[in-house]
Amino acid sequence: MQLQPGVEFDVISAHGKPFKSAIIEITSYDGRPQKAYAPFNRFSDGGTLLFLGHLQGEVLRAKQVREMRTDIRLAGLPQENVIAPAQNRQQPGGERGYAYFGPAQAVQAGAVKVLVDPKTPEWARETVLDTGTKVAQYYEKAYQRPLREELFITVSIGSDEKPGLSMNGGAVLGQLAYHFSGSQLAGDHPKKREMLVRLVAHEMAHIWQLNTARGGVGGKDQWIHEGGAEAMALDAIQQSGVASAESVNAYRAAQTAACEKLGNSVETYNGIYACGLMRFDQLGVGIVPLWRGLIEATEAKGEPYSEQMVRDVAAAQRTATAAALGSGG
Ligand SMILES: [Zn+2]
């Protein structure tokens, strides 16, 4: 725990006797909660990603909330390869991403490290890598920021027994974890590629939102980073040529209709995305200069993205645009 040195001290005890180590067994949970990182991501070859962030966070001590300071060291079973997630730069001992345990080795692909499940269908592998490369190049240029650390991308494949197609992604500090499952995963189709292109660009947008020395994504106002990632993704896939204008327009129209059905509210899970996107569309400011400004603002202030920040940055840019138009003649 984060205690004040010299003022507070603590002894971990069981029945009054201090001890220095303990073993905790964790039952695996393969569900995929909607609003939290999946605790486990399984690969078809027995590999597993474990989300370390769920072992970190706050604790209660004498009815007071304390930050827990975790120093995690990883050791696999014999024969198991272990890949540790990056340290939390912003907060020493703070939340970290997925640790990998399993038989596979990561491969270096350009500036990123990749670990792809051997069961990944070719169309999905190609789309993740190709879109990932092009969109990352676009974001780096548009947002004028190279990534602060090497990106580690994983693709894991779940059961093909359930009907339909499920494609999930999770972006954490320096990491992107994709998980695909369902009977419809096999077989190439343009519609499936379109969905995956959007998912990749969306998750990649989070990586840039998190690519700051301070501030970044907070726990509140989810529509900002989710709706923002939607808007950044649509811009990126169209500008970098991985999606057509028609495909982008059709998706935007569908999301706009979905948001109207939800009463223009960002209070529901779907509303965070659909109405979040609409809010950015309606700001009347270009998404690239807007998010460039937001990333600068979160870093300068050391505060997470907020509604007030969006309003301030948008207002400043409207003023700047008006001034430029005025002097341009
Ligand atoms: Zn997202």
Mean pLDDT of the chain: 90
What is the average per-residue pLDDT within 83-87? 89
Average pLDDT over residues 279-286: 95
Cα of 228 to ligand 1 centre, how many Å?
A: 9
pLDDT given for residue 100 in this prediction: 96
The amino acid that residue 327 corresponds to is S
Q: Which residues does residue 18 pair with via DSSP β-bridges, in sequence order? A: 13
State pTM to two decimals: 0.88
CA of 14 to the centre of ligand 1 (A): 42
Place 310 in a pLDDT band, splitting at 50, 70 and 90. Answer: very high
Q: Kindly state which CATH superfamily the domain 35-321 is placed in.
A: Neutral Protease Domain 2 (1.10.390.10)
Give CA 189 to chain center in angstroms. Answer: 26
- In order of 60, 228, 287, the CA distances from 231 in angstroms are 39, 5, 7
- Chain segment 167-209, per-residue pLDDT in tens: 999 998 889 999 999 999 999 999 999 999 999 999 999 999 9
Rounded to whole angstroms, how far apart are CA atoms 229 and 238?
Answer: 14
Residue 185 pLDDT: 95
What's the pLDDT tens digit per position in 213-225? 888 888 889 999 9
* Residue labelled with tokens 């602060």: 148
Q: Residue 9 — very low, low, confident or very high, per pLDDT cuts 50/70/90?
A: low
Report CA(283)–ligand 1 centroid distance (Å). Answer: 20
Q: Which of 41, 174, 193 is nearest to 128 (CA)?
A: 193
- Give me the helices (H) in 30-151, please: 122-142
Output the pLDDT for position 10: 65
Of 265 and 93, more confident: 265
Q: DSSP H helical segments within the chain, as ranges? A: 122-142, 190-209, 222-239, 245-261, 269-281, 287-301, 307-328
For the record, the structure tokens of 276 come out as 């979040």
Averaged pLDDT, 296-314: 95
State yes or no: pLDDT of 274 exceeds 60: yes
**Hey, CA dihedral for 73, 78, 79, 80, is it positive or negative?**
negative
Distance 8 CA to ligand 1 centre (A): 40
Q: What spacing in Å lies between the alpha carbon of 226 and ligand 1's midpoint?
A: 5
The H or E element spanning position 178 is strand 175-181
Sort residue 57 into left (φ over 0), alpha (ψ -120 to 50) or beta. left
Whether the Cβ atoms of residue 154 and residue 175 lie closer than 8 Å to each other: yes
The closest alpha carbon to 69, from 56, 84, 82, 50, belongs to: 56
Nearest C-alpha neighbor of 209 from the set 108, 280, 124: 280
pLDDT tier at 61 (50, 70, 90 boundaries)? confident
Ligand 1 centroid to residue 65 C-alpha, Å: 28
Given a cut of 60, whether residue 47 has pLDDT beyond it is: yes
Per DSSP bridges, beta strands 151-157 and 17-18 are: unpaired
- Mean pLDDT computed over 32-44: 87
- CA separation for the pair 240, 217 (Å, rounded): 25
Task: Select, from the ranges 28-32, 215-219, 255-259, 320-324, the one with the highest average predicted confidence (pLDDT).
Answer: 255-259
pLDDT confidence of residue 173: 80
Question: Residue 144: what residue type?
Answer: Q
17 Cα: distance to centroid of ligand 1 (angstroms): 46
The pair of three-digit structure tokens given for residue 290, joined into one six-digit string: 């807007």
Q: How far apart are CA 239 and CA 199, in angstroms?
A: 16
pLDDT for 1: 63
Asked whether the predicted pLDDT for residue 67 surpasses 60, the reply is yes
> What is the Å distance from ligand 1's center to 37 Cα?
11
Q: How confident is the model at residue 68 (pLDDT cuts 50, 70, 90)?
A: confident
